[in-house]
Amino acid sequence: MPRYHLIITFVLYTCSLLVIAINPTIIKSQVIWESNSTGEVYLYRIPVITNLPNGDLVIFTEARKYDIPSTDVGAKFIAMKRSKDKGVSWGPTVFIVDDYEANDGLNLGTVMVDEEKGYIIILYVYCAHNRCPKRQNVATNFVVKSKDWGYTWGEPVDLGLQNPAILGYDLSPGPGYGIQKKFAPNKGRLIACGHRTPFALKSVACFYSDDHGDTWHIGGGLIGMPFGGDKKTGDFAPGEAQIIEYPNGTLLVNARNTHFYHCRCRIQGMSFDGGITFPVTSTTLVADLIEPSVCGSILLQGKTLFFSNPSSTAGRVNMTLKWSGDMGETWPNQLPIFPGSSEYSCLTAIDDDHIGLAFEKNDYKLVQFVKIKIH
């Protein structure tokens, strides 16, 4: 039996003894941001939400300044809101990063919470579409850090200047949350995974830091095939990705199936060495998690694995929460969230009894927050 099967069998057996029946119910739904053509922001996209050890919830978004033909490029802010009452109410919008008038500005990536140091760390990419002459058309990643739970922020640090291997690596982290490993191996390591942006390199890759986000290194990932060639429908092209950690230290990355390799469903892979490698023998397709090629989110809360995305093979509609009581072996349960136009999403724990979901709806016009009681 392959090694990863033995590990997952052990995890499933352990968790099966402790699973508590859940019955998710929506208890609150509210608009966090509404896009419009006035003011400093034209469009809010790419919500990333996470909980903090002090009990707060924080949500971040790409605040796109202009209506341009391809809205993934252009100038943006990273915007943030905070809830001090577990999602009942939200404070004002705060802009924490500004790329000014960039032709090919920032794209929001991953948000990580370093519980050992009390930091929030955001990893994002600049010039992902190679359209910024001041950078010689080379993409790079930046990290920005808060040491007081997001009330103040340091200056962004260019990781391409710090680690030359990262300059031009073309990693677009997430979008979603990154993790700090809680279990061996490599307890305390920060890990953020995402997709490499040129179509010829379409793959999932990870960055990691063992010094609380001061320096970063390139880890492993899921390599697109055919390697080095432009991808087309049916090719293996794992895209935007989210990572979680199992209680035995194994990492699971769940990724967008950009070109519908074998199915209109999700791609997954595992790492047993802290994100350095993702053996091809651990790479699987998850037929129960159908998708229209879009960002999704995965969350391990207690003994239950949750997943959110537009659950459709036809288009970006039908935002749905699914959950698994056997660590993702099967996905028999689902809760409809919104039947209409719905796009990117991000899940977070709130407390032992609640989770939160932030997602785009109505053709990207709204960023919605949903609070869900799970049992």
Active site residues: 72, 344, 360
Instruction: Output the CA–CA distances (angstroms, integers) from residue 54 to 92, 120, 142, 148, 346, in the order listed.
Output: 19, 12, 26, 10, 20
Helix H segments across the chain? 3-16, 159-162
Q: Pull the structure tokens for residue 162.
A: 């710090």
CB contact at 8 A, 331 and 288? yes
Instruction: Output the CA–CA distances (angstroms, integers) from residue 8 to 1, 16, 103, 266, 291, in the order listed.
Output: 11, 12, 46, 19, 24
Classify residue 210 as exposed, middle or buried by CB count within 10 Å of its CB (0-12, 13-18, 19+). Answer: middle
* Non-local CB neighbours of 13 within 8 Å, separated by 6+ positions: none
Residue for token pair 């941001």: 33
Count of CB atoms situated within 10 Å of the CB of 358: 27
Element (H, E) at 82: strand 76-83
CA 48 – CA 364 distance, rounded (Å): 14
Task: Tell me the backbone φ, ψ of residue 11, rounded to 5 degrees.
Answer: -60, -45
CA 20 – CA 329 distance, rounded (Å): 17
How many Å separate Cα 279 from the centre of its chain? 21
Q: Pull the structure tokens for residue 225.
A: 């095939």
Q: How are beta strands 106-114 and 176-177 bridged, if at all? A: parallel
* Non-local CB neighbours of 172 within 8 Å, separated by 6+ positions: 107, 109, 125, 128, 194, 195, 196, 197, 240
